[in-house]
Amino acid sequence: MMAQLYIADPAERADLGVFVARAVRLDSEALVRLRTAGSRLHVWVATPFDALVTRSVCGGMHPGDLTIKGTDLLAAMAVAGKTVVDPGQAQDVLWRCALPPERGWRAVDQVPAEVLADLAGQGAAVARATASRHGGPPADLLDQKVITVSGAGLHVGVPLRCLFALSGMGFVGRTAAETVRVWATDSWLRLDARYGAVLRRRRAALPLLV
């Protein structure tokens, strides 16, 4: 039986289309993982910045957990007026990223979106200068903690690579009232913005012992 993606609301379909299009713009080979939870469809993409991005829309999927190519999903959704589509061939074996836990998150702080946008812009300028000499920004630049927030008994450093993902996906604006909420578990960081969220492990996962 072929996979089926169903999103009844045209506005929700448009939101998903924008999200996937931005992910494909960052990486033409981007994989999209779709997971159904009740009446919501959670969408995940691993970005070139080694950070996950996610957004949820009202809808569903059969099977309830499927990985497909972003370009295939965009092509399927381009069929006007269809609320049920075949999203494309399954690529489950190619998905390599662990997903964060659903529970255990603590609200750490809120940061003005324009502050994070400015930091991302400054980081991009440094990355361009570095890339001109070395072919690409070094990992130590991307891993640099450009802002640290505290709350709920946690001190959380936000690496530049997360801000690049936040900016690259167009998740934040520059209005004075807009904020980005910082959440964390003992091992994960989440930046919850207006149009989506960025997640990354705060520390490496322990290796499996065989």
Segment among 115-119, 135-139, 189-193, 204-208 with least mean pLDDT: 204-208
Enter the pTM of the model: 0.92
CB 52 within 8 A of CB 199: yes
pLDDT band at 136 (very low <50, low <70, confident <90, very high): low
Residue scoring higher pLDDT (79 or 31): 31
Instruction: Say what the pLDDT of residue 177 is.
Output: 87
Q: For residue 63, is the peptide bond before it cis, meaning its omega torsion is within 30 degrees of 0?
A: yes
Instruction: Say what the pLDDT of residue 210 is.
Output: 38
- Tell me what percent of the residues of the chain surpass a pLDDT of 70: 93
Closest CA to 113 of 121, 101, 105: 121
Mean pLDDT, to the nearest integer, of 58-73?
Answer: 96
- Please report the beta strands in 97-203, taking only residues with DSSP state E, as ranges in sequence order: 106-112, 145-151, 154-159, 179-184, 188-192, 197-201
In this structure, the dihedral spanned by the alpha carbons of residues 22, 23, 24 and 29, taken in order and rounded to 10 degrees, is 170
pLDDT, one tens digit per residue, over 79-101 is 867 889 999 999 999 999 999 99
pLDDT, one tens digit per residue, over 148-194 is 999 999 999 999 999 999 999 999 877 778 999 999 999 999 999 99
Q: How far apart are CA 69 and CA 173, in angstroms?
A: 28
The number of angstroms, rounded, from the C-alpha of 56 to the middle of its chain's C-alpha atoms is 11
Q: How far apart are CA 162 and CA 164, in angstroms?
A: 5
pLDDT at 206 over 70: no
Domain spans of the chain? Answer: 4-94, 106-201
In whole numbers, what is the pLDDT of the chain averaged over residues? Answer: 91
Instruction: Say what the pLDDT of residue 207 is.
Output: 46
CB 88 within 8 A of CB 73: yes
Domain at 4-94, CATH class: alpha beta
Residue scoring higher pLDDT (209 or 68): 68
- Please report the beta strands in the chain, taking only residues with DSSP state E, as ranges in sequence order: 4-6, 31-37, 40-46, 52-58, 60-62, 65-69, 84-85, 106-112, 145-151, 154-159, 179-184, 188-192, 197-201
Q: Enter the DSSP assignment of 194.
A: S
Q: How far apart are CA 92 and CA 125, in angstroms?
A: 36
